[in-house]
Amino acid sequence: MGEFTADKSHPRYESLLKRHNLEIAASRGMLADSALIAHGRGEAFDYLLGEKTSENAFLATKNALAHLSAAKRPIITINGNTAALAGKELMQIANYLNCPVEINIFYRTDDRISAMLKHLEDIKQEHGITTTILGESPDAKIPGLEGPRAKCCHEGIFSSDVILVPLEDGDRCEALVNMGKTVIVVDLNPLSRSAKMASITIVDEISRVADNMLKIIENEDNLEIDIGFINNHNLQQSLNIIASNYS
């Protein structure tokens, strides 16, 4: 894997850097075949949204962080793409929240789990993070799901009350909602099943979301849950942005 050499002044710098990070993750065995295709879909939706955080996405991000802060057992789950794009930032957020992270991948194989675990342990070491990393030894199942994607950790996903699941599969999102959890999804497609199913959907790109959360943590003393938040309205505002860019 070559070094990343693009100049910061390149108009596609951010986009190229993300691809580079994904290529590194792929070469380390962290990604399923479908991960790069999924990233491409995300790129297209991000393009439609103007490649920036919308006002409603920022409010959803703040509200999500408020729910995580107020939770009894918050958890942040991390899959291959999110580890590659925002692994460090998500670990820092978990560190602030004093909660574990759980590796949570759809196409679970031992090799992929090991590769991700190593990647996250390296980040932990390098940045002095104390967060527990779960997911290596799942000992519980998400009710309503079959096979490897049902697996989770009892002290992690299973027992959580508020859960951040970036880039989640629709079925699993539904199963988590059915468990009574507050489910926070990050999804660039406001019409995806996950986006419509979640308690709070942040329609934004995961590395921008993680950066925004870290900024909010730095700047705000007390985070308040927005009791008037209606996710459907939030989604409609993102739809409006796409429609207005396309008419």
Instruction: Single out the residue of 21, 45, 80, 205 in contact with a copy of itself (rule: CB under 8 A).
Output: 45
Site for a copy of itself contains 37 (CB under 8 A): yes
Q: How many CB atoms lie within 10 A of CB 217?
A: 15
Helices (H), the chain: 13-27, 34-48, 55-70, 80-97, 110-126, 170-178, 193-197, 206-219, 231-245
Instruction: Single out the residue of 34, 109, 132, 178 in contact with a copy of itself (rule: CB under 8 A).
Output: 34
Angle at 168 between CA 164 and CA 169, to 5 degrees: 150
* CB contact at 8 A, 201 and 230: no
Instruction: Single out the residue of 14, 43, 161, 169 in contact with a copy of itself (rule: CB under 8 A).
Output: 43
Letters for 177-216 (x = contact with a copy of itself by CB under 8 A, - = none) are ------------x-x-------------------------
Instruction: Single out the residue of 10, 12, 41, 233 in contact with a copy of itself (rule: CB under 8 A).
Output: 41
Q: Which one of the spans 37-45, 82-90, 123-131, 155-163 is the region binding a copy of itself (CB under 8 A)?
A: 37-45
Site for a copy of itself contains 246 (CB under 8 A): yes
Site for a copy of itself contains 44 (CB under 8 A): yes
**Whole-angstrom Cα distance, residue 163 to residue 180?**
11
Q: Give the CA dihedral 64, 67, 71, 74, nearest 10 degrees.
A: 0
Tokens of 222: 């007390």
- Minimum CB separation from a copy of itself for residue 170, in Å? 12
Instruction: Single out the residue of 6, 14, 23, 145 in contact with a copy of itself (rule: CB under 8 A).
Output: 23
Q: Which one of the spans 39-47, 90-98, 160-168, 222-230 is the region binding a copy of itself (CB under 8 A)?
A: 39-47
Site for a copy of itself in 157-176 (CB under 8 A): none
Q: Burial level of 230, CB count in 10 A (0-12/13-18/19+)? A: exposed
Tokens of 110: 């031992």
Site for a copy of itself in 61-100 (CB under 8 A): none
Residue nearer to a copy of itself on the CB measure, 81 or 92: 81
Angle at 194 between CA 40 and CA 87, to 5 degrees: 60
Residues that bind a copy of itself (CB under 8 A): 19, 22-23, 26, 33-34, 36-45, 47-48, 189, 191, 239-240, 242-243, 246-247
